[in-house]
Amino acid sequence: MKKALAISLILGVVLAIGCAGPLYVNEAMVRPSQLSAGDDAKILVTFKGPKAKVASVRVIVRENPDITYDLNDNGQNGDMMANDNIWTVQTKVPYDAQPGTYHLDVTARDKEGVSIPGENSQPETQTGPVAIAVTLK
């Protein structure tokens, strides 16, 4: 009985440590890194911290804010595995996209509606987006 209680206590501590800590955007990327008009592209955003706290992830093309992408972590639309804290969307670069550099602003919110900062954000600037630069050939 004592052994089972000790094991339960240790597992509880390990799980609490794994779920504790701040939540932040760890990495944002586009695959493949070199794109042309008409190419298939995958946008990925990974998080560090409690997995169940991320509620939504959206990417907005800064140069044309009418173009937005809602990412998911449900194992669909390019997402490889549900609930792994890797939010993804599979899309196609518009055929009329002109060569140049585009900036994708990533905004993420937790279940309370609070913005999730990037890894290197300072506490006083935690509401700003994370940006990805994409160059089209």
In order of their start, the domains of the chain are 22-136 (2.60.40.10)
d(CA 122, CA 2): 45
pLDDT at 125 (0 to 100): 37
**Closest by Cα among 37, 137, 47, 48 to 91:** 37
pLDDT at 65 (0 to 100): 92
What confidence tens digit (pLDDT) does each residue in 41-61 have?
Answer: 999 999 888 878 899 999 999
The torsion angle over the Cα atoms of residues 3, 6, 7 and 11, rounded to 10 degrees, is 170
**Mean of all residue pLDDT scores within the chain:** 79
Decide which of 40 and 14 is more confident: 40
pTM here?
0.76
CB contact set of 62 (below 8 Å; sequence gap of 6+): 102, 103, 104, 105, 131
d(CA 23, CA 51): 8
